[in-house]
Each structure stands twice: as structure tokens, then as C-alpha cells.
Amino acid sequence: MVGVTEQKTEPTSAPATDSDDIPEQIKVRRDKRQRLLDEGIAPYPVTLPITSTIKQVRAEYAGLETGEETDVVVGIAGRVMLMRNGGKLCFATLQDGEGTRLQVMLSAAEIGMESLAAYKADVDLGDHLFVHGRIISSRRGELSIMATRGEDGVPAWEIASKAIRPLPKTYTAEDGTEMSLSEDMRVRRRYLDMIVRPAARDMVRLRAKVVRSLRDYFDDAGFVEIETPMLQVLHGGAAARPFKTHMNAYDTDLYLRIAPELYLKRAVVGGVDKVFEINRNFRNEGADSSHSPEFTMLEAYEAYGSYDTMARRTREFIQKSARDALGTEVVTLPDGTAYDLSGSWAEISLYDSTSEAVGRTITPATPREELVGLAAELGEEIPDHYVPGKIVEVLFEKTVGDHLWAPTFVRDFPEDSSPLTRGHRTKAGVVEKWDLYVRGFELATAYSELVDPVIQRQRFEAQALVAAEGDPEAMLLDEDFLMAMEYGMPPAGGMGMGLDRLLMALTGQGIRETITFPLVKKG
């Protein structure tokens, strides 16, 4: 809006914080609220005579010439983001939920001095405001609504919701960027982040488009979406440390789900040959730029498929989600770098690539002592309970995984660190498992599923020994799951992917930016 400025503090290198004047501002706004109530004016009305959205007005009347006026009257509403009050003419910019903005003008000639004076006294930045008026283009060419009274008693303007707290003021960061909230505050008060920062609102909508795209893909492919329990008697389906809780009604300890795998496989046993779930998982582990204790996961299982089947499907639905959400398979990262998700993706062997990286041959038969020594040379300290395969994965992450930029399937993992995976058809000591890496982090994983219940029991028993030796992430022996397997599970491929990490891959943002309301440490 021409001639209208945003309220700002003096430029500073530090973010604005709660200061002595904030409580006073809140007090003033609370007093306004009470005065409105005393005068019989509702500061939070139930309904308003809205006829159009800001976005609709923008789209339909963007072509108005400078100074052109119409007889089209609309009622719109939005949050007051900018305002400038003059003697007989006031300007404000309203913002809708998508961030679309539109100027409104309030003139004494149109609404009278009494109404204009009330507007000046009652309305503050951050309030939601209803305005009824004609669509015009201002003398400076700004599409606007000129507030007018309606013949049927519709007011020229009305407060739709009185904001008690003022919006955050802007400040200038060290790099010269205009900011409104510190990084920590953006995460803690995401609602403010969404009000003042378009990228935060865009991420919410982008996430919704990606989820819709994934569901469409699996629906078109004949998969059935089901829901599995979040509260479980035993934790399983992944190597992770669980959250523990207690159910009073049953007087029993329960675990928050770390993965839906064992229940989705039960569904395959039951005859749901193609099954998937988009779910919330909880892992009592560290939190950093790519890990969150509460996260969203996609898991899918396909009878008579394999890890090759799931590699094809994973590439297809990731590329589809990029097209559906962003319109391209070559996405642009925050630094302007183009990241190419199109075409076929590279495939490498975990053992071969690690051997090449460390300069000596590593196989499933390499002694544990030798692997520990290699890890020590790389500055990695190995816990006593790590099996040889886990150490090989540590070596891979250190020397190869962290440096894989282009989308890459890393294939054929150690058997002793993959208890739910079928042994490789031709390679001893490894299983048919892949991990998908993008930009140096793991995005997804898939197996040719282990369906032999005898071998599965042996693997669980081996995991129990690892747990007894101190591994908090080892799986527990799940008798009910083994019973289901004993009824016969068809050959199958299965995959899992963190949805939050898919958003990271598509946007280049950290995981706390892709999760709308991430869990953060109490401040």
C-alpha cells in the first residue's frame, strides 16, 4: 500500500523481546475491549456479512486502471497488518489466511466523522476487521475497498476479533534481513510465525499438498489405508528407544508407537495385500536438524513385492509429490541451488561403497575387532553392545552416507542389524534392504520382508540377547506377531519414510520448519 508504513523498532542486530511497554499495550487493548462491551459493541461477533474473500477481490479486479472506481460492493474481512490514520482519510491493509493483502480506505466523506473517529479509537494492528464498501483503484493505483455504509444497515466497518496482544515488531538481523521473530520464537509461537512470515504459511499448505499427493498415489495403486495402535503393549518395528506410559484402567505399562510395521504386517497376513498408513510415531531419542521425537511416517506393504518393487514405488511417489506440490521435479533450495529429483536414481552397495571409502575390503565376515579399530581411526567410539553390522553402518555413515548428494539407494545391509528383513537371495550375511539418501541424510528405507516365522523367532531371540547386553533400541520378542506370522504371510515388500524428512528434501528446510508445531524444550 503506497504511503503506508509498518511499525518498526530502530534497526538492531538482536530480536525484539518482551519489554516494559508490552504489558501497558496489553492493558490499553483490554481497556478498549471492555469499553466496547460497555457500549454494547461486540468485540468478538459471531457472524459478519462477508460476501467475498480478499483473494477473490484480488483475482477478479486486478486489472482496474489507476483511479478507476466501480459500483461493486463487497464485504471482506482480514487481519490488520498495516495502518495509517489521517485527519479525514485512513488507510489499512488487511491480510487473509493465505497471506493475500488488500488495502481498505475509510473516508469521513463516505462514513462520517463519528464513524471514522470510532475507527481510530477502536482498531489496532493485529485486529481482525470487517469492511463493507466499493471496489476501486486508488489515485496511486492500489486496488482498494472504499468503506461505505450499506443500505440494509450493514456497517461500513466492524471489529471481527479484538487482538489483546500486539503483533511482534520488526528488527534488522546482522545480515540486513528484516525479521519479526527470533528463530527460537518462530518455533515456540508458530501461530505468530504464520501471521508475519509467508514462508511459514506456505509450508503448512505445502505439507498438506504432499500428504494429499501421497494418499492419491497409493489409492490409485490399489492400496488400503488403515490405522494401527499408537498405544502398544510391546514396542517394535524399528530399532529405537520408546516413550513409556501407564494405563490406569488396565494397570499396565504401555509404549507409544515407534513404528506401525508389525501391525501393518498383521493386516497383510489377514489378506489386505496392499496396505499403507500415514501416522504419528514417537521415539525417545535426540532432537536435531533432522530428528524429532514426534514425527510423521509413511509405511506401506505390498504382497508379492520386494525391495525392488518398493524402490520403484518410492521414486514414483516422491517425484509425484514434487510435481503436485511444487509443479516440478527439480526443486529450488533456499540458497538457490537446484536439486534434481527427476529420472532414475543411483544405486550403490553398502559394503562395496564403505570398503572403497576406508581403503580396505569389508564383508559380513570381517571380525568385530577390526571394525572397531577402523571406527577408532575415524574418531568413532563404539559401544560394547554394537553388533558387527551396526559398526559397519557407523563406518558407512561417517565415510559415505553424509556425503551422498544426489538421490541414491544404498542396498544390501548387514543381517545382524536388520532383524525384520529377508536374507539376500545370492549374498551371504546381508539382507534385502535399502536406504534412500538425499542431500546427505536418510529419507526412506525398504525391505524384502522376512516372512519365515521360524527365522523371525530366531532373530527376535537374538535381539533379546542384545537388549540384555544393554542396547535400549533392541526389539522385544512379540509372541502375538509371531503367531500371526505362523498363519502364513505372503512374500512382500515394505517401505517406510519420514514425511517431515520428505518436506526437508523438497524445500531444503530443517525438520523443525517442516513440522507445523514441533516439540521444543521448555524455555
> Residue 21 above 70 pLDDT?
no
Residue 455 CA to its chain's centroid (Å): 38
What pLDDT does residue 177 have? 64
Residue 174 in this model has a pLDDT that exceeds 80: no
Rounded to two decimals, the pTM is 0.87
Q: 398: part of which helix (H) or strand (E)?
A: helix 388-399
Output the DSSP codes for 478-518. -HHHHHHHHT----EEEEEEEHHHHHHHHH---HHHHSSS-
CB 226, CB 270: distance < 8 Å: no
Give residue 178's pLDDT band: very low, low, confident or very high (50, 70, 90). low
496 vs 474, higher pLDDT: 496
Cell of 430: 546381508
Residue 87 has pLDDT above 80, yes or no: yes
The whole-number pLDDT of residue 299 equals: 97
* Mean pLDDT across 313-340: 96
- CA–CA gap between residue 325 and residue 426 (Å, rounded): 40
Which phi-psi region, left, alpha or beta, contains residue 373 (left: φ > 0; alpha: ψ -120 to 50)?
A: alpha
The pairing of beta strand 252-256 with beta strand 274-282: unpaired
Residue 376 scores a pLDDT above 60:
yes
What is the predicted pLDDT for the residue at 4?
37
* pLDDT at position 194 over 50: yes
Residue 67: predicted pLDDT? 93
Side-chain half-sphere CA neighbours of 517 within 13 A: 3
**Alpha-carbon separation of residue 378 from 372, 391, 509 (angstroms):** 10, 12, 29
Where is pLDDT greater, at 361 or 462?
Answer: 361
φ/ψ of 267, rounded to 5, equals -65, -40
Task: Specify the pLDDT at position 15.
Answer: 40
Least confident of 93-107, 213-227, 460-474: 460-474
Residue 342: band (very low, low, confident or very high) from pLDDT cuts 50, 70, 90: very high
Query: Residue 391 in contact with residue 371, Cβ under 8 Å?
Result: yes
Phi, psi of 129 (to 5 degrees): -130, 135
The band of 449, judged by pLDDT with boundaries at 50, 70 and 90, is very high
Q: Find the mean pLDDT for residues 141-164.
A: 94
3-state secondary structure at position 86: coil
Chain centroid to Cα 180, Å, comes to 21
pLDDT at site 474: 66
Q: Which of 179-183, 206-210, 235-239, 253-257 has the highest mean pLDDT?
A: 206-210
> How many degrees, rounded to 5, is the angle at CA 17 between CA 12 and CA 23?
130
DSSP H helices in 170-250: 183-188, 190-196, 198-220
Residue 254 and residue 116: Cα distance in Å, rounded?
Answer: 61
End-to-end CA distance of the chain: give it in Å, rounded.
38
Provide, rounded to the nearest whole percent, the portion of the chain with pLDDT above 70.
92
Quick check: 55 and 46 in contact, CB under 8 A? no
Q: How many helical (H) and strand (E) elements, i.e. helices and strands, does the chain have?
A: 16, 21
Amino acid at 257: R
pLDDT at position 234 is: 84
394-448, pLDDT tens digit by residue? Answer: 999 999 999 999 999 999 999 988 888 999 999 999 999 999 999 999 999 999 9
Q: Which residues contact 367 (CB under 8 A, 6 or more apart)?
A: 388
Q: How many CB atoms lie within 10 A of CB 255?
A: 19
Closest CA to 55 of 33, 37, 74, 82: 74
> Would you say 484 and 263 are in contact if contact means Cβ atoms under 8 Å apart?
no
pLDDT recorded at residue 3: 36
Using a 10 angstrom Cβ sphere, with 0-12 exposed, 13-18 middle and 19 or more buried, the burial of residue 405 is: exposed
Q: Dump the DSSP string for 296-314.
A: EEEEEEEET--HHHHHHHH
Nearest residue to 429 (alpha-carbon basis) of 475, 366, 474, 383: 366
Looking at residue 427, what is its pLDDT?
Answer: 94
- The pLDDT tens digits of the residues spanning 228-244 come to 999 988 887 777 888 99
Ramachandran class of 83: left when φ > 0, alpha when ψ lies in -120 to 50, beta otherwise: beta
Q: How confident is the model over 461-473, as a mean pLDDT?
A: 73
Nearest-CA neighbor of 6 among 195, 201, 146? 195
| Rounded-to-5 percentages of helix, strand, coil across the chain | 35, 25, 40
Contact 434, 407 (CB under 8 A): no
pLDDT tens-place string over residues 272-306: 999 999 999 999 987 777 788 899 999 999 999 99
How many C-beta atoms surround the C-beta of residue 523 within 10 A? 6
The three cell numbers of residue 237 are: 518395528
Question: How much is the mean pLDDT over the chain?
Answer: 91
What pLDDT is stored for residue 460 in this prediction? 84
